[in-house]
Amino acid sequence: MAAYLVSEVTPRDADAFQTYRTKAAASIAQYGGRYLARGGDVDTLEGSWKPRTIIIVEFPDVETARRWYSSSEYAALAVQNQALERNLILVDGISATNA
């Protein structure tokens, strides 16, 4: 069943952020991931959370998402710390029978 990476991002350096974004997208695609949301408008409906940039990536399953996260392709993105600050979580999806 699908798994989702949810990331709240605050860019630090615009040029480094664009480099990171391009390289991260290539590594995500290599592991079968696809973007569901990538920096669109955020509208807080409840609570006090006010994220500026949210990214949601769907992977085929948790194992694949973890393989991507620990992969040499993603680890090679050394520009990450210069490019952005973020919170990142991995959420396991539900099967159609549990929906």
> pLDDT of 49-91, one tens digit each?
999 899 999 999 999 999 999 998 886 567 777 888 989 999 9
Tell whether the model's pLDDT for residue 97 goes beyond 80: no
Using one digit for the tens of pLDDT, what is the confidence trace for 15-32? 988 988 898 999 999 999
Structural domains present in the chain: 3-94 (3.30.70.100)
Measured N-to-C along each axis, helices 62-69 and 14-30 cross at an angle, to the nearest 10 degrees, of 130
Instruction: Work out the pLDDT band at 99, boundaries 50, 70, 90.
Output: low
Tell me whether residue 66 is exposed, middle or buried, using C-beta atoms within 10 angstroms of its C-beta: 0 to 12, 13 to 18, 19 or more. middle
